[in-house]
Amino acid sequence: MGPNHGDDGPCRWVLLAYRMPREPSRPRIAVWRRLERLGVARLGDGLVALPADARTREQIDWIADEIGEAGGSATVWLATPSATGQEQQIAAGMRAARAAEYQTVIDEARAASGVSAGERSRVVRRLRGELRRITRRDFFPPRERDAARAAVEALATSESIEAVTRKERP
């Protein structure tokens, strides 16, 4: 599911250019949420991008239709950045956004290490779901990903989270 990245150049992106009426706000917010969930890079006002693969292209197509049904307008494009540097900048932004999400998981796992066994297993279940959701929109994995997985598994097996997350640091 990762980006279609060759070593020799920039990858292909799917771009969604869209406009939606300000009111009613509900469909506008629904679209915003779905785009967030997909982990899009926001390139400008009403312009978002994702590395193109079968799943991202299909999801973006459906969102474009949804925007049309809500009285907005949307076009979907396949694009290649003209300079690799640009792409790296966008990828770095996406990586940082995911890193922050993984870090929240690490912090929550750490905070739950002292609670009762029953409460801890509830937190483990929730954090595993959260990890799955983040990983799904993680196109340029930051190193926090492995640390977050290790922290949640440590919480599941009651290992010391400090010990596993320390191991992950370079």
Options 47, 66, 110, 168; binder of other proteins; rule CB under 8 A: 66
The stretch among 30-38, 81-89, 105-113, 141-149 that binds other proteins (CB under 8 A) is: 30-38
**What is the total count of residues that contact other proteins (CB under 8 A)?**
14
Phi-psi region of 40 (alpha: psi -120 to 50; beta: other; left: phi over 0): beta
Measured between alpha carbons, how far is 28 from 45 in angstroms, rounded to an integer? 13
List Cβ neighbours of 27 (8 Å cut-off, separation of 6 or more): 20, 66, 67, 70, 71, 72
Q: Which residue stretch of 5-13, 58-66, 152-160, 161-169 sits at the interface with other proteins (rule: CB under 8 A)?
A: 58-66
| Rounded CA separation 132/126 (Å) | 10
Instruction: Give the binding range for other proteins (CB under 8 A) out of 9-17, 29-37, 117-125, 161-169.
Output: 29-37
User: Are 94 and 20 a contacting pair, CB within 8 Å?
Assistant: no
CA dist 56 and 58 (Å) reads 5
Per CB under 8 A, the segment of 11-19, 62-70, 107-115, 161-169 that binds other proteins is 62-70
Residue of 19, 37, 143, 166 interacting with other proteins (CB under 8 A): 37
Site residues (CB under 8 A) for other proteins, limited to 89-148: 132, 136
**34 makes contact with other proteins (CB under 8 A):** yes
Nearer to other proteins, 37 or 42 (CB): 37
Residue 122's CB: how many other CB atoms inside 10 A?
12
Give 73's strand partners.
19
DSSP helix/strand/coil, 131: helix
The single residue among 24, 25, 36, 62 that binds other proteins, judged by CB under 8 A, is: 62
Residues in touch with other proteins (CB under 8 A):
30, 34, 37, 54, 58-59, 61-62, 64-66, 69, 132, 136
